[in-house]
Amino acid sequence: MRHSAAHVMAAAVCRLFKDVKLDIGPSTEDGFYYDFDLPKRLTPNDFPAIEQEMARIVGENATFDRQVVSREEADRAFRELGQKFKLERLADIPAGEDITLYRSGDFVDLCAGPHVAGAGQIGVFKLLSVASAYYCGDERNVQLQRVYGATFATRKELDEWLALQEEAKKRDHRKLGRELEIFIFDDDVGPGLPLWLPKGGILIEELEQLAKDTERAAGYQRVKTPHICKEKIYLRSGHLPYYRESMFPPMELEGVKYYLKPMNCPHHHKIYAAAPRSYRDLPLRLAEYGACYRYEQSGELFGLMRVRSMNMNDAHIYCALDQFAGEFLAVCRMYLDYFKIFGIEKYVMRFGTRGKEGLGRKCVGEADLWARTEDLVRRALRDGGVNFAEVPDEAAFYGPKIDVQVWSAVGREFTLATNQVDFAVPGRCGLVYKNAQNREETPLCIHRAPLGTHERFIGFLIEHYAGAFPLWLAPEQVRVMPITDRQMEYAAAVVRELESHGFRVWLDDKSDKIGAKIRRAQLEKVPVMAVLGAKEVEAGAVAARRRSGEQQVLPLGDFVAGLKMEREKKGL
């Protein structure tokens, strides 16, 4: 239905405007888009006319007729129509594959389908936005206009979805990140290179400390690696041929090429190889919140979600074959424990396999080794009762992987983290250990990053919490508010008491009325406010006010003890 709605929108645009060049129009999870090249710059002001024409086409209920044609017939048809992008897309279809056109009324498209039987079966739709998109996703190509729309079977479903989108706009991490003074971007620094403000620095420190505490308890050892490295390490590991386009250009010093580090694994492999290893040393778990740099295309940069500098909650587990299932499941359980802390209720592990075409195209190793390794992962996931979906042709070049998909509080999907199995690169890097029979074997390696990068994870958390972070994570945890200057001395004592217990506190000593102070703290999403009047001073108490509006007068000692308990439990 959504794919058919894209065709109907394209047909409407062709009816309304001259010299329209068509590219592609796929469905999305909740709707569709179509890419156009036309002389007029489309704006949301054009949407009512396009929607009206779409409604007219739906009312005509033209059928979607599938036609299998020869390459020559398709070429002739699109040349006559002057559709240059369709001709290029036609040329990309491999020899021997069916070439199919779909005709609906006066509109024809190069398309594999499927579609509804007739346009009248398309439900309720609404055009949402228009954006720029490079042809074939390549910034060297012409810039097209991409019009997005949503389609649902009923008006009720569409209205509910639109309400969620409005809430998501309010939670946009780019908007809240500026308003709450968490991070900024600056043209003089460069696109995709975030600058973390003091409040953002606190979020980073709290997440890193959580990772350190969790990993220490799980037997990880922390390491540190440099930000640059010689070219040959990436050639030996095999990363350079596969990731060169995503790496910053090399620097040449004294005749040697150096790269900004795009990933941590080759460096961790060197640390593993720095000492002789025995089966008694395994599993060896090396962890690092390591800085990496990747040259994302300009058109793909998006706030904190797609950046060029990132700090990754990375670790590599080197283990024997018989240890693999236990180690892999322990990583999965770590993910689930983090989900509970952050209130992530909906998730799925996407199990990426090599697929039928993957082995020769982008994967190393032999087919039977891939099959055995994929089966190891599949059985571990099933035995552990982990919710997963198997997706072909999404493996890493060195082995199958898990991409962790999570949904925020408003239903927005994020790719949060990864968990990958590597059976190839340890051997390339000469990693071995002595087994119980004193013979050399190559370890398996599990690459894992449960919190992903703190850039993407903080972006997710800003939207998930709408900037209202739980107490343990909030950059400012308590704001102390004397009602008048007469309570200032007691307010300073309350601040000192809270700070002595490690709380992040700010004293609002402005001369504003208490209502203005509360409103300011609410807008800045401070979790707890300590309001102090004459009665509180006399009783040695605090009028505690929550961000939710809940209020309670407590003795100062009980107030501090309750906050400490909440902080330690990392409650939501």
What one-character-per-residue DSSP string does 102-127 give? EEETTEEEE------SBGGG--EEEE
d(CA 366, CA 388): 25
d(CA 124, CA 150): 8
Res 366: pLDDT: 58
Q: 399 exposed, middle or buried (CB, 10 Å; 0-12, 13-18, 19+)?
A: buried
Question: Hunting for tokens 């190559």 — which residue is that?
Answer: 442
What are phi and psi for residue 397, nearest 5 degrees?
A: -65, -20
Q: Which domains does the chain have, with CATH numbers?
A: 2-170 (3.30.980.10), 178-465 (3.30.930.10), 478-569 (3.40.50.800)
Res 361: pLDDT: 46
User: Which tokens hold the place of 486?
Assistant: 């007469």
Q: Strand runs (DSSP E) across 401-514, as ranges?
A: 401-407, 413-422, 433-434, 440-441, 444-449, 478-482, 505-507
- Tell me which long-range contacts 373-379 makes (C-beta under 8 A, separation of at least 24): 373/399, 373/400, 373/421, 373/423, 374/400, 376/324, 376/325, 376/328, 376/421, 377/328, 377/351, 377/402, 377/421, 378/351, 379/325
Question: Hunting for tokens 């030996």 — which residue is that?
Answer: 236
Nearest Cα residue to 454 out of 105, 97, 122, 207: 207
The answer to whether 446 and 327 have CB atoms below 8 angstroms apart is yes
- CA 525, distance to chain mean position in Å, is 24
The answer to whether 220 and 286 have CB atoms below 8 angstroms apart is yes
- The structure's pTM equals 0.82
d(CA 289, CA 267): 13
The answer to whether 10 and 22 have CB atoms below 8 angstroms apart is yes
d(CA 250, CA 21): 39
Res 357: pLDDT: 54
Q: 485 exposed, middle or buried (CB, 10 Å; 0-12, 13-18, 19+)?
A: exposed
Residues sharing a CB contact under 8 Å with residue 250, sequence separation 6 or more, in sequence order: 231, 257, 258, 259
The answer to whether 286 and 272 have CB atoms below 8 angstroms apart is yes
User: Which tokens hold the place of 117?
Assistant: 């039987």
Res 396: pLDDT: 66
Nearest Cα residue to 168 out of 157, 178, 160: 160
d(CA 256, CA 233): 12
Q: Mind listing the pLDDT tens digit of every residue in the chain (572 residues)?
A: 999 999 999 999 999 999 999 999 999 989 999 999 999 999 999 999 999 999 999 999 989 999 999 999 999 999 999 999 999 999 999 988 899 999 999 899 999 999 999 999 999 999 999 999 998 888 889 999 999 999 999 999 999 999 988 988 899 999 999 999 999 999 999 999 999 999 999 999 999 999 999 999 999 999 999 999 999 999 988 888 778 888 999 999 999 999 999 999 999 999 999 999 999 999 999 999 989 999 988 878 899 999 999 999 999 999 998 898 889 889 988 998 999 999 998 888 888 887 655 444 444 555 667 777 788 888 888 887 888 888 887 776 667 888 888 888 888 888 888 888 887 788 889 999 999 999 999 999 999 999 999 999 999 999 999 999 999 999 999 999 999 999 999 999 999 999 999 999 999 999 999 999 999 999 999 999 999 999 999 999 999 999 998 999 999 999 999 999 999 999 88
Identify the bridge partners of residue 414 per DSSP, sorted by sequence position.
Answer: 406
Q: How far apart are the first and last CA of the chain?
A: 40
What are phi and psi for residue 7, nearest 5 degrees?
A: -65, -40
Res 356: pLDDT: 59
Question: Hunting for tokens 């308003």 — which residue is that?
Answer: 179
Residue type at position 130:
V
* Element at 100 (helix H, strand E): strand 99-104
The answer to whether 22 and 85 have CB atoms below 8 angstroms apart is yes
What are phi and psi for residue 403, nearest 5 degrees?
A: -100, 130
